Every structure is written in C-alpha cells, then in structure tokens.
C-alpha cells in the first residue's frame, strides 16, 4: 500500500544506513533495561540520524502541556507537527501510556502523536471530536523492519522531508479505505454479487445460483468473521454509503448540467 511512495535517494540512503546502525543497538536495549531518560536520548539520536531532524533546533523536550512537559516534540519551521511520549526500552507499551500520549496531543491541538520505547513506534492520529477519538495509523518494530520498499515507505512517513506535507494524512486516508473491513463490505455489495453470479453462470455453463446464496456463502464460509463484525465493519459500511452518496450527487449534477 505504501511501496509507490517516491523517496529521494538521499533520504533512502539515510534510512537504510540508519537502520543498519540502530537495529544493532535497539535489539539490546530491553536486555540492558535502560532508563526512560536514556531511551529518550536513543530516540532523539534516531530522529536525527534516521529521520533527518536537527537534534538541537527541531527536537525539544520543552513542550509544556498543562503544567507538565511531554518527552519530545518535533518542531519544524516554528510549528509543532508531532508529540512523542517515551517509555523505557524494557516497558511494554499499553493503553495507559496511549491515553497519556493522546491527552498531550489533545490538550495542545496536535493531531499526530507517537508512543515509543525506541523499539516499538506507534503513530496515532487524534480526531478533535466530542469525545476525543484516536486511531493507530502506523506501528513499526524497529528491530524487525526491513529495507523493503514498503517498510522504507512507512519509515518515510516520519521523516523531516514528509512531516510538513500530507504524507501521513494521505497514508491515513488510504488505510481507512484499503482494509479488510471495506473489502468485506464491498464483496457483499449488490454490484459485486451480481457480477459474481454472472461469472459463475458464464464459467459453469448456465449454472443456477442466486445472489442470496452467494451472499450467505461469503458471510458464513469465505470472509473472516472479524472483518464483518464490530466498529471496523460499521465504519466501513458508513464510509461506503457516504462514497456512494457522493457519487450519486455528482452524477445528478452532471445530468442537470448536460
């Protein structure tokens, strides 16, 4: 989904070189049980050497939020683009840590936050609704990421060269659509079921099968249950309905002006 992102050669070289250097380091961090302060130092080094930020002018620990300070903030051209909540390398990231990171972002009007222990990097987008909502957009295991085009494209989302643009927003929009929930609901749509029925009849010489039969087969035997249930499935249904409604409005507008 991200492999088509064009990464400048200079940035790609920095990413691959940085991975070689820091993967050896971070794989040992948990075993050494380093402190949270030392983990912050490692993350600052990675943000500089791997992701391209100036350690002294663009990375700060002085972002005050409601009387406290977040661990790190990324400021480029005078604007805070991202907050980073850091836990020690030996700490397993949990919901409590996530709420802390989200609260920092929500109270400061910053929609992108990172929760990290230097090994795992979780990137969240905050929606300033009532109540505040958030969604995990990226999860990177820095000890396991490869130099594949897809992994490098995900790393590029956090680079200085893309943080001021819309790379994260575009990735987030695409991830909202190209996922198992939307695919599952699309497979169950009237248009796809009609096409599937037609293809069965063509391939198997007039085989009689109804769209209801195909629907039940997909729901009960083909599509995994977790793609059909829960909030993800509801959001997918809503997203598809909005897209279809938008298409109908555009079609009506074109017909009106024709």
29-41 per-position pLDDT tens digit: 877 878 888 999 9
* Burial (0-12, 13-18, 19+ Cβ within 10 Å), 16: middle
220-250 per-position pLDDT tens digit: 999 998 889 987 888 888 888 888 888 888 8
- The residue among 178 and 51 whose pLDDT is bigger is 51
List of domains in the chain = 9-165 (3.90.1570), 180-257 (no CATH)
Q: The dihedral of CA 72, 77, 78, 80: what is its sign?
A: negative
DSSP string, 92-112: PP-HHHHHHHHHHHHHHT--E
- The residue among 69 and 242 whose pLDDT is bigger is 242
**Residue 96, pLDDT above cutoff 60:** yes
Residue (of 62, 58, 81) closest to 71 by Cα position? 62
Residues 249/195, Cβ–Cβ less than 8 Å: no
Mean pLDDT score of the chain, rounded to an integer? 86
Cross-strand bridge partners of residue 112:
125
3-18 per-position pLDDT tens digit: 467 889 999 999 999 9
C-alpha atoms less than 13 angstroms from C-alpha of 122 in its C-beta half-sphere: 20
Residues 80/49, Cβ–Cβ less than 8 Å: no
Helix %, strand %, coil % for the chain, to 5? Answer: 55, 15, 30
Strand runs labelled E in 21-77: 59-60, 64-65, 68-69, 72-76
pTM: 0.72
Instruction: Give mean pLDDT, residues 74-80.
Output: 89
């Amino acid at each position: 989904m991200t492999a088509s992102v064009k990464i400048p050669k200079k940035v790609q070289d920095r990413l691959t070189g940085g991975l070689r250097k820091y993967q050896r380091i971070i794989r040992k961090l948990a075993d050494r049980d380093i402190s949270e302060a030392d983990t912050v130092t490692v993350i600052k080094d990675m943000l500089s050497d791997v992701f391209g930020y100036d350690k002294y002018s663009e990375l700060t620990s002085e972002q005050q939020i409601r009387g406290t300070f977040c661990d790190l903030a990324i400021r480029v051209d005078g604007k805070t683009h991202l907050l980073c909540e850091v836990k020690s390398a030996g700490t397993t990231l949990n919901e409590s840590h996530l709420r802390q990171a989200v609260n920092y972002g929500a109270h400061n009007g910053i929609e992108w936050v990172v929760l990290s222990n230097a090994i795992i990097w979780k990137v969240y987008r905050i929606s300033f609704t009532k109540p505040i909502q958030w969604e995990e957009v990226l999860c990177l295991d820095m000890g396991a990421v490869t130099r594949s085009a897809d992994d490098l494209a995900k790393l590029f989302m956090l680079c200085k060269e893309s943080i001021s643009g819309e790379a994260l927003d575009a990735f987030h929009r695409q991830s909202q659509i190209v996922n198992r929930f939307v695919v599952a609901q699309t497979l169950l749509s009237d248009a796809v079921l009609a096409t599937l029925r037609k293809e069965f009849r063509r391939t198997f010489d007039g085989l009689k099968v109804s769209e209801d039969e195909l629907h039940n087969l997909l729901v009960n035997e083909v599509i995994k249950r977790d793609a059909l249930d829960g909030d993800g499935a509801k959001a997918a249904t809503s997203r598809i309905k909005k897209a279809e409604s938008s298409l109908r409005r555009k079609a009506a507008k074109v017909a009106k002006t024709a």
